Amino acid sequence: MMSPGIAGREEERLASLLACEILDTPPEPAFDAITSLAARLCNAPIALVSLVDRDRQWFKSSVGLALTETPRNVAFCSIAIESREPLVIEDATVDPRTCNNPLVTGDPHIRFYAGVPLTLSDGHAVGTLCVIGLEPRQLGIHELIGLRQLADQVTIHLELRRHHRMLLERTREAERIAQTLKRTGAMTSMGGWEIDLRTDELTWSDQVYHIHEVDPSTKVTVETAIDFYAPEARPIIRNCVEKAMRDGTPWDVELRLITATGRPIWV
C-alpha cells in the first residue's frame, strides 16, 4: 500500500500522462521512427515507447513485440520511472527485481533491458523509451548516450501534445468568456469583464470597449484599464481590484473615468 505522499505524487504523475491525451491512440510515424532507431542503435530485437498507466504499461510504439500492453506489476518500465535515471539490467535472471518476473521466466524470456524515463517538464516520468534483448549483455556508453537522446525526442513529442491540449482549452475558455460577456451585455445594456488570475489578462465585452471609446481589437490589462480612471480615482479602483482578486470581495463604487477620446464620465 502506498503512503499518502507517494500516492499523491502518483496521482499527479497519472494526471500528467492523461494530459498528453496519447493513451490508446493509433501508431504514429514520429514515434515508430524513434523505436526503429533505438533498436538499430542498440542492436536490440525489441524497442518500445512504453507509457505507464495506473494498472498497465501501454506501448505507443513497438519493434519486435506483438503485444500492445502488459500489466503494470510485471513492467520493467514501472521500475525505471521510479528511479528517474536510466535503468540497465544486464541479466534479468539474476537481478532480484526481475528474476521471478513472468516475462523473464516465460515468453518472451527477457534477459536484457535498458530504459530511459520520459520525464516531462513538470518532473513526472510518464514512461520510458526502452530496448530489450533475449540474451544477457552490457550496454555501451555510446548506446546509452544515443538512447538518452532518442528519449529526449519522445519527451518533446509528448510535451507538444500536452501544450496543444492546453492551448485548445485556453482557446475554448476565451471563447466561452467572450460569449458570456456578450450575452450579459445584451441582456443588461451594461458592460462586463473578466480577469484571468493566472495571467492578469483582462477580457472586456463590446459594451465596455464602447464605454471606454476604445477599438474592440485593443488588448487590455488590469493596469491599462486602471489608467483610464482619473488620477484621484486610481488608488481606489486599484484597491478594489486587488481585494477582489485576493479574496473575492465585491465592490460598488462610482468613480470618474477618462475615455480614450478624453471625455470624462462617471462609472
Kindly report, residue by residue over 45-84, the tens digit of the pLDDT.
Answer: 999 999 999 999 999 999 999 999 999 999 999 999 998 7
Average confidence score pLDDT of the chain? 87
Residue (of 181, 175, 75) closest to 125 by Cα position: 75
Please compute the mean of the pLDDT values over residues 196-206 and round it to a whole number: 73
pTM above 0.75, yes or no: no
Kindly report, residue by residue over 97-156, the tens digit of the pLDDT.
Answer: 999 999 999 999 999 999 999 999 999 999 999 999 999 999 999 999 999 999 999 999
Q: Who contacts 234 (Cβ-Cβ below 8 Å, separation ≥6)?
A: 226, 227
Please report the pLDDT score of residue 248 as a whole number: 73
Q: How far is CA 166 from the centre of its chain?
A: 7
Please report the pLDDT score of residue 181 as a whole number: 56
Helix (H, G, I), strand (E, B) or coil at 151: helix
- In 123-205, the DSSP E strands lie at 125-133, 193-196, 201-204
Distance between CA 246 and CA 167 in Å, rounded? 26
Q: Who contacts 19 (Cβ-Cβ below 8 Å, separation ≥6)?
A: 162, 165, 166
Please report the pLDDT score of residue 2 as a whole number: 46
Please report the pLDDT score of residue 178 as a whole number: 62
Q: 128, 118 in Cβ contact below 8 A?
A: yes
H or E stretch including 19?
helix 4-19
Residue type, 127: G
Please confirm whether the linkage preceding 108 is cis (ω < 30° from 0). yes
Distance between CA 14 and CA 125 in Å, rounded? 9
Q: Which three cell numbers stand for residue 240?
A: 478594489
Domains of the chain, with CATH numbers? 4-165 (3.30.450.40), 190-266 (3.30.450.20)
Residue (of 203, 198, 234, 197) closest to 216 by Cα position: 203
Kindly report, residue by residue over 209-255, the tens digit of the pLDDT.
Answer: 888 898 888 888 888 889 999 999 999 989 988 887 777 777 778 89
Q: Give the single-character DSSP code of 205.
A: -
Whether the per-residue pLDDT at 96 is higher than 80: the answer is: yes
List strands edge to edge, sheet with 193-196: 193-196, 201-204, 220-221
Q: Quick count: other Cβ atoms within 10 Å of Cβ 39? A: 19
